[in-house]
Structure 1
Amino acid sequence: MFAKIISDVLNKFLGKYIENLDGSQLKIGVWGGDVELRDLDVKESALDELDLPVRLVCGHIGHLKLKIPWKNLFNERWEAAVEGVYVVVVPKTSIQYDAQKEEKLLHESKLAALQRVEDARLKQQEIEKGDQTANQDGFFEKLCSQIIRNIQIFIKDIHIRYEDGLSCQNSQFAAGITLSNLSIQSTGADWIPRLDTSKLVYKLNTLDCLGIYWNADANLIAQNGHDKSGMIKCLKELVTSQDYIPQGMNYIIGPICSAAKLQLNPKPEQPDENGKTFSIPFASLDFVMDELAVGLSRRQYSGIMALLDSFDRLQLSSKYRKYRPQVSKVTGNAKDWWHYAYNCQLENIRRVHQNWSWEHMKEHRAKCQKYKVAYKAKLENKLSGGMSKDIEGCERALDVINITLIRRQAEMEVQREGRLRKQEKQKRGWFSGWF
C-alpha cells in the first residue's frame, strides 16, 4: 500500500515537470526499493504555474535517485539525490511563435490549473470532515517522523539561468543561480553522520558555493546556435565550486559556503528526566557561514530595474505573440509594427463582439451541456470513446471557471439522481412485500 502511495505521488509530481516519464518503470523502481532516473528532460511548460512571461528553452536533470529501505522502513536510511539540474529561461517574445506548440502548452497549463482546483477542493473536504484520528500516534505518523529522522538529501551541480536581450535597451544580460553542493545528513549528538536512535533528531546541513549572479553584456547561450547538449555543457562549465571559479561571473550574492547543525525535538511536550515539559525547544539551530559577499554595481541595479519594468510589458505582449512581426528593430519596419498594433486592437474588439453574439452564446451553451453529460457519464463509470473525445474537446474550448462550475453541477446532479434511485428501489422493495 505504502509503495503504491509513493509511486502515485512520484508519478503525479514528476509527471508535471518531466517529459515522457515512464510511469510503469517508475512503479517497478519504487517496488524494488530504488528509483534511479537519468538524463531527464524538463517540460517547456514547467514554469507556467508561476504565471511569468518567460519560457523554458532548455531543461535537463542528469541524475535523480530515491532509495527506500522496504525491508526495514524504520531503522535504515532513506536517500534522495539530485545531480545536474540545468535550466535556461528566456522571455516568451524572444521565441518564434508556433501555433500548434502554443495551443499544446496552453492546454497543459489549463489542465494543471484544473488539477490544482480539484486538489484544493479535496483538501477542503478532508478538513471539513475532520479527522478524529489526527492526534493518534498511528503507523503513518510514526513512519513520517522516522523518515524525517533517517532521510539523507544530496543536491549537486544546479544552474538555473535567465537570458534576456529585450528588456535593457542596447544591451543583453544573463542572471541566474548556481549551486555546487547541498547535503542534509542524519547524525548523532556528536554531529558525525550516522543513524541515531536517540529521542532528539540531529541534522547536519552543508552548503557549498550557492550564488546569485547578474552578467551584463553576457554571451547568450540560447542564441548562440547551440543544441540542447551544447547548452547543458555551457551551463555546467559556469557552476562555481570551491576549487573552480569560471571567468565572467559577476555575483550579486555569494558564492556562499556554510554549515548548519539542526537539533529537532519531535515531542517537546513530553516530560524529560526531571519531569519538566518543554525543557528542550522544538528546534535549535547552530549556523556558521564563512563569508557573506554582497555587491551590486550601478549597471546591475539598472538592469534589475529594467527587467522588473519590462515584465509588465512582456506579460501584456505575450497574449499577442501570434501577431508579432519577426523583426528585431522598429526602424525600417514601420508597416509591420503598425499592422501588429492594428491586429492587437482588433482582437479585443472581435472578442467583445463575439461574446455578445447570439450564435456564440448558443454554441457556448451547447458545449457546456455536452461537457456536463459526458462528465456525468465519467462520474458514473459509463464513459464511452465518443464521450472521452467530447470531454477533451470541450476542455480545450471552455475556460477553467466554466469547466469547474460544470463539474460541480454534474457532481450534484449525480448525487441527487443516486439518492432518487435509492429511494425508488426502497419503495419497490416495500410494495413487493405485499404481494
Structure 2
Amino acid sequence: MLEDQVAFLLQKYLGNYVRGLNKEALKISVWQGDVELTNMQLKPEALNALNLPVKVKAGFLGSVRLKVPWSRLGQEPVLVYLDRIFILAEPATQVEGCSEDAVQEAKKNRVREMEARLLESRQQLKSEMNTSWLGSLINTIIGNLKLSITNIHIRYEDLESNPGHPFAAGLTLDKLSALTVDDSGRETFATRGALERIQKSVELERLAFYLDSDVSPWCVDKPWDDLLPSEWSQVFEYDYKDGKPSNAHAEEHTYVLQPVTGKAKYSKLRADESKTSGQALQKAVIILDDVTLCLAKDGYRDILKLADNFSAFNQRLRNAHYRPRIPVKSNPSSWWRYAYKAVSDQMKKAR
C-alpha cells in the first residue's frame, strides 16, 4: 500500500517536470526500498504553470535517491539524496495572445473549484488519520526525514532587460543537509510521542549568489538535450584549483553574496511546555561564517533593468487573452481594440 503511494507521488510530482522517468522501474525500485533516478533533464515547460517572467532554457537532475527501510519503517529514517541540480534560465518576456486563453481560464476556474472541494475532504480525512496508526506512521516518517542536497547551480542569463549589456545571475550551493537531533546535538530518531517536541539540525556549505555584468551567455557545441552527464558537470560544476575555477564556463564571478558556510537549528516545543516556560513554540537559530555582501554599480543597474522588464511582463500577462496574434502594421484596428479592452478592464478593477 505504502509502496504504491510513494511511486504514485514520485510520478505525479517529478513526472510533470523531468524527462527520463520510467514508471515500471520506479514502481519496482520503490517496492525494493531503494529508489535511484539518474540523469534526468528538466522540461522547458516546468515553470510555465507559475506564470513567471522566466523560462527554463536547459535543466539537468543528476541523481535522486530515496532509501525507505520498509522492514524498520517507524524505527529508522527515510533518506533523501539529491545531487547535481543544474538549471539554465532566460527571460520569458514574449507574451502572445491565444484564442484558447479564455477556454483555458475557464478550465482553471473549474479545477480551482474541484481543488477546494478536494481540500475540504482531505482536511476531514486528515483529522481521521491523525488518530489512526497510518497517520501516526506518516507523521513519524516526515518528522525523521533525513535530507542531503549537493551540487546546485541555478543560472539566469538575460540579453533583453538591458540591451547591449547582457548579464547573468546565479545561485550555487555545494551542500545542504538536514537531520533530526536530540538536545545534545546528536542524531536521533523521534518516535510517536517525541514528535511533539522535535529538533532539526541543518548544515550549509558554500552558498553563494553572483551577478555578472556585460558577460556573454554560455554556449555549448551541441543542443543542451544531447549533452552527456559528464558534459553537464563540466559546464556547471566548479573544480577549484589555486582558489580559481578550472573549467571553461566557470568564470570568476562578481559575487553579491560570497560563498558562505554555516549551520542552523530548528526546534519545536510542546504546546504545554511553551506556555509554562514562556519560550517560543518554534525557534530557528542560524549561524553563518564570514558573510560578505557586495553589489557593484553595474549590478545595481542590471537589477533595476530586470525589475522594469519583469513589471512589463506582468502587465502584458494580465491582458494576454486580448493580445492580437498578428503584427501591428497588418491590422492596426485590432491592436486599438486590444488597447481599449485592456484599459477598460483596468478601469473596472479600479472601480
Residue 13 of structure 2 is matched in structure 1 by: 13
Deviation at 1:210, TM superposition (A): 1.3
Aligned residues: 324
What 5-or-longer segments of structure 1 have no aligned partner?
A: 324-339, 353-435
Following the alignment from structure 1 to structure 2, what is the Cα–Cα distance between the partners of residues 295 and 12? 41
Q: Which has the higher helix share?
A: 1
Cα distance change, pair 55–347 in 1 and its aligned pair in 2 (3 A): farther
- Structure 1 position 119 matched with structure 2 position 115: yes
Per-residue CA deviations over 1:301-333 (Å, capped at 9, x if unaligned) read 11011011112444567867976xxxxxxxxxx
Deviation at 1:293, TM superposition (A): 1.5
Cα distance change, pair 341–31 in 1 and its aligned pair in 2 (3 A): same
Residue 190 of structure 1 is matched in structure 2 by: 184
Following the alignment from structure 2 to structure 1, what is the Cα–Cα distance between the partners of residues 155 and 331? 31
Cα distance change, pair 23–135 in 1 and its aligned pair in 2 (3 A): closer
- Structure 1 position 269 matched with structure 2 position 272: yes
Greater Cα offset, 186-195 or 80-89 = 186-195
Cα distance change, pair 234–108 in 1 and its aligned pair in 2 (3 A): farther
Following the alignment from structure 1 to structure 2, what is the Cα–Cα distance between the partners of residues 251 and 71? 47
Whose Rg is larger? 1
Per-residue CA deviations over 1:143-201 (Å, capped at 9, x if unaligned) read 23311342110000111111111111311001121111000022333223343659343
**8 A contact 2:179–2:187 mirrored in 1:** yes
Residue 299 of structure 1 is matched in structure 2 by: 298
**8 A contact 1:80–1:154 mirrored in 2:** yes
- Structure 1 position 175 matched with structure 2 position 172: no
What 5-or-longer segments of structure 2 have no aligned partner?
A: 340-351
- Structure 1 position 255 matched with structure 2 position 251: no
TM-score (norm 1): 0.63
Per-residue CA deviations over 1:72-92 (Å, capped at 9, x if unaligned) read 111012101111011111123
Greater Cα offset, 290-299 or 225-234 = 225-234
TM-score (norm 2): 0.76
Amino acid at match of 1:74: G
Identity %: 25
Following the alignment from structure 2 to structure 1, what is the Cα–Cα distance between the partners of residues 38 and 4? 22
Amino acid at match of 2:120: Q
Following the alignment from structure 1 to structure 2, what is the Cα–Cα distance between the partners of residues 321 and 233? 42
Cα distance change, pair 280–249 in 1 and its aligned pair in 2 (3 A): same
Cα distance change, pair 253–322 in 1 and its aligned pair in 2 (3 A): farther
Residue 71 of structure 1 is matched in structure 2 by: 71
Following the alignment from structure 1 to structure 2, what is the Cα–Cα distance between the partners of residues 110 and 253? 43
Aligned pairs for 1:53-68 (under 5 A) are 53-68=53-68
Deviation at 1:285, TM superposition (A): 3.3
Amino acid at match of 2:215: A
**Secondary structure in 1 matching 2:19:** coil
Cα distance change, pair 136–48 in 1 and its aligned pair in 2 (3 A): closer
Following the alignment from structure 2 to structure 1, what is the Cα–Cα distance between the partners of residues 314 and 126? 46
Aligned pairs for 1:353-432 (under 5 A) are none
Residue 237 of structure 2 is matched in structure 1 by: 237
Deviation at 1:225, TM superposition (A): 4.9
- Structure 1 position 159 matched with structure 2 position 164: no
